[in-house]
């Protein structure tokens, strides 16, 4: 009988090691989930930032349109400030570089005369170009 048991035990093979990759799958899923989350957050923030930029541009154009030229000195400062903020592309930069010296003559004096026609036309052109670009 003992001989019979030892023959039976010889047929039993040692335990085999089963390759377990669940640890790598677990961490891979966590990294993938984090990358996906960061990607979604990035695109949401990017979209919000773009909308904010457009809204700021619209506000600046509205501020330029609402400038009251009765107080020429104050208006020249306002126009320069908002026009500089809106000068983001080549065309607006070029128009601003032409408009700025025209507005300078109204800024640094104690008393200034009313806005001349050339400056008013250049300012209106700048506002029209800025309004079309948003």
Encoded tokens for 55? 């809204």
- Is the pLDDT at 50 greater than 70, yes or no? yes
The pLDDT of 36-62, averaged and rounded, is 90
- Is the pLDDT at 82 greater than 90, yes or no? yes
* Residue-range domain boundaries for the chain: 19-133
pLDDT in tens, 3-27: 666 666 666 677 788 888 889 999 9
Encoded tokens for 107? 């800024």
- Is the pLDDT at 70 greater than 80, yes or no? yes
Tell me how far CA of residue 80 lies from CA of 73, 86, 124, in angstroms.
11, 10, 13
Q: What is the pLDDT of residue 12?
A: 66
- Is the pLDDT at 56 greater than 90, yes or no? no
Residue pair 103/76 in contact (Cβ under 8 Å)? The answer is yes
**What is the Cα gyration radius of the chain?**
36
Average pLDDT, the chain: 89
Q: Indicate the burial class of 74 (C-beta count within 10 angstroms; 0-12, 13-18, 19 or more).
A: middle
Q: What is the pLDDT of residue 67?
A: 95
């Amino acid at each position: 009988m003992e001989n019979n048991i030892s023959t039976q035990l010889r047929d039993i093979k040692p335990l085999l090691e089963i390759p377990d990759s669940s640890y790598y799958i677990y961490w891979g899923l966590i990294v993938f989930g984090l990358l996906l989350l960061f990607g979604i957050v990035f695109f949401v923030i990017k979209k919000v930032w773009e909308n904010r930029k457009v809204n700021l541009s619209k506000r600046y154009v509205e501020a330029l349109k609402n400038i009251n030229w009765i107080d020429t000195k104050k208006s020249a400062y306002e126009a320069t400030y908002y026009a500089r903020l809106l000068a983001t592309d080549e065309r607006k930069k070029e128009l601003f570089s032409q408009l700025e010296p025209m507005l300078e003559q109204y800024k640094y004096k104690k008393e200034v005369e009313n806005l001349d026609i050339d400056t008013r036309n250049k300012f209106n052109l700048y506002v029209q170009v800025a309004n079309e670009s948003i």
